[in-house]
Amino acid sequence: EEWRNDVNEEIDSINQILPTVDAGGYYDEYDDEGEMARAIRTWIRSVLGEIIRYKAQHQHLLDEAATSLELALPRDIVMNNVL
């Protein structure tokens, strides 16, 4: 539940960011990339960072669960891949 709230909050944050930045680029010959494009790229990196962080936490929990099962189950079940 926590990860869902955090990721949704991060995704929704673009709605707060975009109205406050200038699109740029089309009227400034020295500005190849507008402020909005930079804001979107930063936002994408932030969302991906959250996803990667939670994916790593999830993998850690799966590894712990697998280890617990291996220790709790009889060896012949684990070795024969019964589960």
> CB neighbours (10 Å) of residue 21?
14
Predicted pLDDT of residue 29: 57
The percent of residues above 90 in pLDDT, for the chain, comes to: 27
* pLDDT band with cut points at 50, 70 and 90 for residue 3: confident
To the nearest 10°, the Cα dihedral for 49, 50, 51, 55?
A: 100
67 token code pair: 């280890």
CB-based contact 50:10 (threshold 8 Å): yes
3-class SS at 50?
helix
What's the pLDDT tens digit per position in 50-62? 899 999 999 999 9
CA pair distance 38, 59, nearest whole angstrom: 31
pLDDT value at residue 49: 92
Mean pLDDT over the full length of the chain: 82
pLDDT digits (tens, 9 = 90+) for 18-36: 888 887 655 555 555 688 8
59-68 average pLDDT score:
92
pTM to 2 decimal places: 0.64
Amino acid at site 55: K
Looking at the chain, the number of H-run helices and the number of E-run strands are 3, 0
